[in-house]
Amino acid sequence: MNDFLCRFAERFATLNKDNLYLLGELYSDDVIFRDPLHEVHGLTAVQAYFAELYANVEALHFEFHGFDRVDAGEGYLRWTMRYRHPRLRGGAEIAVEGCSHLLWRDKVYQHRDYFDAGALLYEHLPVLGSVIAWLKRRLA
């Protein structure tokens, strides 16, 4: 297991709406953060993005279960994100599997998340969720 990836994951897993200042310990000032829904440039913008994410959920937790170093300063983290949102799935917990590709020197300067946006959000919206479930049944 890569020490940098392990330390990053441990610190990232402690994040919550009250300690997002810790992002400065993980990310460089010029970080680029991408996920299937957004692309954000710069530490200040990443902090604002995370503040918005944490403000809109009742609970959010990451479990890291894979640490794969590709090269010096490059690796992947595999994770499960668990969250609850009052307007999605009746406030029940939603679990989403994903992975993060990280590039770093002393801090991460590029972070790209890969996950199923439907499993994260769309499948749990009242009207759209029924349509997606119907489509999945038809395609199966």
Task: State pLDDT tens for residues 3-35.
Answer: 999 999 999 999 999 999 999 999 999 999 999
Residue 132 confidence (pLDDT) above 90: no
**Higher pLDDT among residues 85 and 96, named by residue:** 96
Beta bridge partners of 63: 80
Q: Where do we find the tokens 């918005």?
A: 52
DSSP 134: H
In whole angstroms, give the CA distance from residue 112 to residue 72: 17
Q: What is the CATH number of domain 3-139?
A: 3.10.450.50
Tokens of 116: 């199923």
- Across the chain, mean pLDDT equals 85
Residue 83 confidence (pLDDT) above 60: yes
- Name residue 39's amino acid: E
Half-sphere exposure of 18 (CA within 13 A, CB side): 2
Give percent of the chain above pLDDT 90. 55
Residue 54 confidence (pLDDT) above 70: yes
pLDDT of residue 78: 96
pLDDT of residue 55: 83
- Delimit the domains of the chain by residue range: 3-139
- 36: confidence class by pLDDT, cuts 50, 70, 90: confident
